[in-house]
Chains A and B, each alone.
Chain A
């Protein structure tokens, strides 16, 4: 097979703070004198953003690159794009590279939409002829025909984004390096973008796609490289690598689940929560869960003495903005606990499917009775991150902007092109 990109032992070193402190000529001069007087410590604040990365990408392949923030994904993309130079190692590229690290690079507020199409296009590496021939398509794709001669300072952010993406989507190089730009725009626009990338793939383009959104990676890529702390942790089939990657999110330190030492609580203390565990589908501790997955919450408690009253365990879900979304309540679901003996114990609640949008949520824990006695209450004591998933199996992730929650549903399209009745 033909290799489009071959990377060997690629390393990139950053010196954090060094340039900061010498950003001024006068400081550099002062430091120079100082360094003659006393020898400077070497290896100060060095960070290896990439360490001995070797990989090859074949012609026509779409490779996803995943990893946590700061793992080195963007650095890898920038080195491949020649934006930054590697400290060591080599890159061999067959064909012309285009990189899309940002939508609307070089857009200028004072210029009209049309002028910006030419400017942005040429910055991305398109020729004037190429832009001319695709101009109508680009403008139609961006859906800004009426405003094409208006300076883009009057554009809404959505229009800017669409225009930027429209140009980017028409970049037609042999190799495309794409950084997470699919995550912009509304659903309809996202769909056109994904279609566009699929088209490029079918047209034999080689694409390297960096993203946090597992749903789009899963949909677009046949192979995934997982970068962790500047090194390749895993390189293999999409499903396998994503599964292993997601698994690392589980297992938050046990101390985080220990509620005994929490001072900020109200209630009479007859019964107290001593711990909480969030378990994923495989009943492993986690604090990240995918939209639509099941979630088991296990609550540990300690009763100071025997309590004879209707005891209610409840968990309240709040959005990251503090809005109460929903509650999971033992009494309302029909469990009357009339007596709790002295000592320790736990209860578990299983939520079959978490119909929450990808976001961060906070959970409050209550222990009270129907008569208004609060035994224990811990407000927003634990966080729960819900990650995007391809719940409907359509290739489209479920995104926060579509609302606060989602529902399982089915469309029936049998009636398309049929007269009712």
Chain B
């Protein structure tokens, strides 16, 4: 199918896409007693643990702001990223009953899993603003970067989700590997530590991790004292787009076999 036809088809299924996002959100919030608060408790809880462990006990440097704000500013986007990947990675296998019974563009499942996390993300962001207010940190013009970085974050999640979800159809052990891989990725990303503690000559290695510059960028966007690493950020952006293109191509090439395998 030509790209134009494909886009036209996607457009004609936009309402299904909307309903899938809606379903993901409603079901997630209905299934837990705490509902929406659960979304905040998770990163907030991690933040408190990290603040005590790394901020208070290990005296980890935190770019001149309270460690709580420092870590939460990174945890908000990271939580979105990790939960998106977890959800979208299993979105095809988890919706096998749909894929084998009715036709619709399969990519809608991955896309809706990626987008349905944005509500949680928005709520967490509000909590972050509250936390900053509590610690008396002023927002500057740099906050305008936040939505732009969010777009990059969503695109990266989508790209990685596309690759993992289609791999997961073929190789079911991928699904079990995702949580472990995300844990490693967590430590390879400056969330609990500042980029400054990594020696100069290892920084090049960090460019291999697209999340590195994105998370660091989020910190730059809200923390007044930080400088941005534009070079790393552009490498990261290029990396994100590359992953997205690879993901789309791989997904398009494998999607016709999904129903056969599932």
Q: Which residues of A contact B (CB under 8 A)?
A: 14, 19, 22-26, 28, 78, 81-85, 97, 99, 101-102, 105-106, 108, 110-111, 115, 118-119, 122-125, 127-128, 151
Q: Select which of A23, A24, A85, A122 is within 8 A of B257 by beta carbon.
A: A85
Point out the residues of chain B lying under 8 angstroms from A28, CB to CB.
170-171
Point out the residues of chain B lying under 8 angstroms from A110, CB to CB.
26-27, 30-31
B115 to chain A minimum Cβ distance, whole angstroms, is 16
B interface size (C-beta, 8 A) = 30
Interface of B is mostly: helix
Point out the residues of chain B lying under 8 angstroms from A119, CB to CB.
19, 22-23
Q: Which residues of B contact A (CB under 8 A)?
A: 15-16, 18-19, 22-23, 26-27, 30-31, 97-104, 167, 170-174, 177, 256-257, 259-261
The reply to whether B100 and A83 contact each other, CB–CB distance below 8 Å, is yes
Q: List 19 A-B contacts (CB under 8 A).
A: A24-B172, A25-B167, A25-B177, A26-B173, A81-B102, A81-B103, A82-B103, A83-B103, A84-B256, A85-B257, A110-B26, A110-B30, A110-B31, A111-B26, A111-B27, A122-B16, A122-B18, A123-B98, A125-B16
A330 to chain B minimum Cβ distance, whole angstroms, is 53
A302 and B172 alpha carbons, distance in the complex (Å): 62
The reply to whether A83 and B15 contact each other, CB–CB distance below 8 Å, is no
A23 and B170 alpha carbons, distance in the complex (Å): 6
- Leading 8 A-B pairs by shortest Cβ distance: A25-B171, A85-B256, A82-B103, A122-B19, A84-B259, A24-B173, A122-B16, A102-B101
Point out the residues of chain A lying under 8 angstroms from B23, CB to CB.
108, 111, 119
A68 to chain B minimum Cβ distance, whole angstroms, is 21
A183 and B234 alpha carbons, distance in the complex (Å): 60
B109 to chain A minimum Cβ distance, whole angstroms, is 11
A151 and B99 alpha carbons, distance in the complex (Å): 24
Point out the residues of chain A lying under 8 angstroms from B31, CB to CB.
110
Point out the residues of chain A lying under 8 angstroms from B256, CB to CB.
84-85
Given contacts A23-B171, A85-B257, A151-B30, 14 further A-B contacts (CB under 8 A): A81-B102, A83-B101, A83-B259, A105-B102, A106-B98, A110-B27, A111-B23, A111-B27, A111-B30, A115-B26, A122-B18, A123-B16, A123-B19, A124-B102
